[in-house]
Amino acid sequence: MRKFATTILILTSLFCAKAQTSISFQHLGNATFQNNLINPSLIPEGKLFIGLPVISGVHANVNSKVSYNDVFTKESDRTLVDISKMVGELQKQNMLSTKASVNLLHVGYRLKAGPLLSFTANERIEGDFLYPKQMVEYVFTRGNHEFLNEDVKVSKLGLRASHFREFGLGLAAPVNDQLTVGIRAKYLIGFANVSVPGNVKATLRSNGEAFQLESSWENVMYRTSGLDIYDETEGDLGSHLLMNSNKGFAIDIGGTYKLNRYYTITGSIVDIGFINWKENIRNEVLGDTSFVYNGVDLAEIGNIQQTLEDSLFDKFNTSENFDPYRSWLPVTVQGSWIYHYSPQTDFYVTAASRLIQRQIKMAYGAGVTQKFGRAFTGSLSVTKLPQQFFNVGAAFTAKGGPVQLYMAVDQIINFNVPESQAFDFRFGMNFVIGQRQEKSEASGLSRGPIQGAKGIDTNVFLGKSVKTKKRDGIYSIIKKQKRRELKSKRTKKDNDVQKKSLNGRTGQKNTDNE
């Protein structure tokens, strides 16, 4: 039953997953409240932000080096596993990586001075499996006869899958006209975890003369928490999912800096934190071991399970313990360089990385974001995800009254589920109440109108509001204005004084003439 619970957790994390990168969505800038979850310094436009359970955010992503059709093939009415085709698609180091998230609740409020205060709650399931190609070749295809008298080194092998909930308190605030910073503190509750530390090392060698397998293993540990509770063989699942002693903490930080009216840089580091696993712990530990395997005696092949246990499994020096342990969240770092071509058009160049069990996975993107009034914003991006070829992604947000809809998709060219190796999809509906007229630096991204300013790139001309038709470079194009008459502010008293002064000068002039 424990194996069943383990399988359910891993498969759920791998096939009901959240995006790892979401570059197209990042290029929407501060268009939605959810962009603040990626970069805590981004302040969305509005006063009050509300997200209801599930409908405000669902996010799915899978990133694998092989697709369904790379593993399975159909012959007549049968579906077969095509190992050779699968191995042919692998690179030297591979991963099957996912994250899953559902927004349970969010509330954000803009203060008069500009800062954003927020509360968020999210349900998250994550999974990462890192494996080298040579290990797959050795186990499934080439066999030890292809590796005679050759060392096969297995390293950079890791597995992690977790289900947890996070509650966050965030603050984003403009420091000055150029810099906006943000931070979010998150309280974590863990529900289930499976992990194999990423420092596993193994060496396999097939002795061609003696027909023996020589093997050595280091740092092998299989840690689990909560699987028996999920399997309902221990404890109560309902109360476990409400509250338990698996606690953790994490922070997100971000910053946005406006270099000048044309360029902005923005970046964030999220999920700097850990979970301490204490409930329903079961750890299998393999002590550092070296052994020689001579095969099995075919005369005793009747009980294959017992034969393998006696000949192979007993070679491993394993032990079991129930010690609590700590797992760290994979840290994600992203940064963007933004060129403000116009108040409605921005160009983005973005790089993102994720640290998974001591391995860094990179993603890149470049795109354009276009605003169509206050109601609609769209982005189109070229993306390069880890272990994937270049593809195209798109995102948009549309607002009508207090309701805001958004959707984002990466990997949209030639998308076909059986052929797809990666996809990224998210959508949701928010409630945005109220609008703020503010300096563009407060949101950190757009080069919009500056309230009360007199000059280029404003909606004010000679102290009066005017409608700007368009902008051409540094010039604002407005309708031809009517000639304005100058009004005299002289009083009757001022006029009398002026007349007396003129009369006095006239009398003086006449005296001189005489």
- For 102-123, the pLDDT digits (tens) are 999 999 999 987 899 999 999 9
Cβ neighbour number for residue 426 with a 10 Å cutoff: 22
pLDDT digits (tens, 9 = 90+) for 208-264: 554 556 667 777 788 999 999 988 888 888 999 999 999 999 999 999 999 998 999
* DSSP classification of residue 3: H
What integer pLDDT is reported at residue 19 of this predicted model? 36
Q: What is the DSSP string of 33-70?
A: TTHHHH-TT---SSSEEEE-TTTT-EEEEEEESS-HHH
Rg (CA), the chain: 33
DSSP 174-243: ESSSSEEEEEEEEEEEEEEEEEEEEEEEEEEEEETTTTEEEEEEESEEEEEESHHHHTTSSS-HHHHHH-
List CB contacts of 449: < 8 A, sequence separation 6 or more: 343, 440, 457, 458, 459, 468
Q: Which amino acid is at 105?
A: L
Residue pair 144/152 in contact by the 8 Å Cβ criterion: no
CA distance 72 to 236: 38
Find all residues with CB under 8 Å of 292, minimum gap 6, and list them: 212, 213, 214, 215
Ranges of the chain whose pLDDT falls below 50? 1-20, 210, 295-299, 301-302, 304-313, 438-444, 446-458, 506, 508-514
- Helix (H) or strand (E) run with residue 507 in it: helix 492-513
DSSP-derived 3-state class of residue 7: helix
Whether the CB-CB separation of 296 and 307 falls below 8 Å is answered with yes
Total number of residues shown for the chain: 514
pTM for this predicted structure:
0.74
Contact assessment for residue 283 and residue 320, using Cβ atoms and an 8 Å cutoff: yes
How many angstroms separate the CA atoms of 21 and 365, rounded? Answer: 10
pLDDT at 214: 67
Read off φ and ψ for residue 456, nearest 5 degrees.
Answer: -70, 145
CA distance linking residue 361 with residue 63, whole number of Å:
11
Beta bridge partners of 327: 275
CB atoms within 10 A of CB 503: 10
Residue 462: burial class (beta carbons within 10 Å; 0-12, 13-18, 19+): exposed
Neighbours of 200 (CB within 10 A): 20
Neighbours of 98 (CB within 10 A): 26
40 bridge partner residues: none
Q: Among the residues of 16-82, which ranges form H helices?
A: 23-26, 35-38, 68-71
